[in-house]
Amino acid sequence: MRNMIFLSLILVLVALGNCKEPDFFGYFEPQLMTFYSHKSDDWALLNSNKLRLDIEVKPGKKVKFGANVNFYNYYGTTAYNLLDYLSPEITAIAQPHEQYYEFAYKDSIELDNVYLRMSFQYADVTVGIQQISYGTGYAWNPTDIFNRKDVLDPTYEQPGHNAVRFDVPLNRNVSMMVIYAPGDNWNVPTALLRLKARLGRFDFSFCGTTTPWKQTFYPVLGYREEERILVGGDLVGQLMGLGVWIEGAYNHMQLTEDFWEMTAGLDYTLRNELYILGEIYYHSEASSSSDDYTLNDWMSYFSGLTRTIGQSQAYVFIQYPITDLIHISSSIIGCINDESVALVPQLNYSLFQDVELTVFGNLYMGNEGTMYSKDLGNGGQIRLRVYF
């Protein structure tokens, strides 16, 4: 952490030492969320405020400095115990150590991105905390080792990652991306090599990565780290008027079982502007039955280590513009192997220029112990975002 802050300060000083007038922008985002807890038989209420401040400076034609800081504060029910939202069969083994599963939202200030981008003759180099996002999947990205999307809100912005990145155009249709992200030591860094090309109506890529895989075991709270080597690729394009994509990765693990992940999807817009998207996802080592789900599976999912608990999932998104300013939509997420479903209806309303209102609903319809069990708590959320 100290090295990251030190690097960030150096980047700020370098960029601002000889800079032109900077651009400032950002947004303010208040949210109100409520959901039902079956254990307490009551509705919890959480209010949050987020302020994002961005700065961009271009000291020269081939140099760009960018940064953003996020401010968060929370009110209402800010503390939770994750065991309250799982079935008794899962949580019974953890009851003696219940305090280890408590989670709380706390006021914070976060340096989300701070980077320096330099353009050379044969490559662009970006150093610092930066956005790293790749892969063609909408709700899941098997090749992305840096991020895990929230399947209930997959388009929400991702955090920055501390890394050195090289973007190299090899020719008109082929480019290469190389990323190195320093870790705790030199033995197991996070590194990525990705080649991307275009052929006709299709873009495709191949990638290889190595990264430390850190896992905590529950309820004993044991810890293990091993090397993870990933080889994968993706494809996206147009086929008979449909947008189509596929993304997959094979993961070789140093100590545990190897596994592979794959997602494939398509989308289409009808003449009446109704937009339809569908995607499926598969994880070879995930459990095929809810009877086999463990506390460790749930904690790995909650912490973002894994993308799923069940082996197979499906995602459907439907959106329709009622007017130029109002869109209604709904996401339907299903775990195929345990037959559980989550429904996320949504309303987007452009109140004024640069002012957006979004209303969500979260409805879990699965049986107890399934991935989208009603025990997770049905509820809703109101989000207002004001850009400046």
Whether the per-residue pLDDT at 348 is higher than 50: the answer is yes
pLDDT in the model for residue 40: 73
Lowest mean pLDDT among 46-55, 162-171, 180-189: 180-189
Whether the per-residue pLDDT at 136 is higher than 90: the answer is yes
Whether the per-residue pLDDT at 8 is higher than 70: the answer is no
Domains in the chain, ordered, with CATH?
A: 2-387 (2.40.160.10)
Whether the per-residue pLDDT at 376 is higher than 70: the answer is yes
Residues of the chain with pLDDT > 70, as a percent, come to 94
Whether the per-residue pLDDT at 190 is higher than 60: the answer is yes
Phi and psi at residue 92, in whole multiples of 5°? -55, -40
Within 10 angstroms of residue 123's Cβ, the number of other Cβ atoms is: 14
For residue 184, give every residue at least 6 positions away whose Cβ sits within 8 Å of its Cβ, in sequence order, or none: 212
pLDDT in the model for residue 90: 86
- Token duo for residue 112: 């989300």
Please name which of 159, 152, 155, 156 lies closest in space to residue 138, comparing C-alpha atoms: 155
Whether the per-residue pLDDT at 176 is higher than 70: the answer is yes
- At 102, which helix (H) or strand (E)? strand 102-104
- Whole-structure pTM value: 0.89
- Token duo for residue 289: 């039955």
Whether the per-residue pLDDT at 114 is higher than 80: the answer is yes
The answer to whether the Cα torsion of 224, 225, 231, 237 is positive or negative is positive
In angstroms, the first-to-last Cα distance of the chain is: 31
Render pLDDT for 228-267 as a digit per residue (tens, 0 to 9).
999 999 999 999 999 999 999 999 999 999 999 999 999 9
Mean pLDDT of the chain: 91
Question: CA–CA separation, 388 vs 23, rounded Å?
Answer: 11
pLDDT in the model for residue 2: 45
Residue 26 backbone class (left: φ over 0; alpha: ψ -120 to 50; beta: rest): left
Render pLDDT for 307-340 as a digit per residue (tens, 0 to 9).
999 999 999 999 999 999 999 999 999 999 999 9
For residue 276, give every residue at least 6 positions away whose Cβ sits within 8 Å of its Cβ, in sequence order, or none: 267, 268, 269, 270, 316, 317, 318
Question: CA–CA separation, 221 vs 289, rounded Å?
Answer: 25
Please tell me the number of Cα atoms within 13 Å of 296 on its side-chain side. Answer: 12
Whether the per-residue pLDDT at 174 is higher than 70: the answer is yes
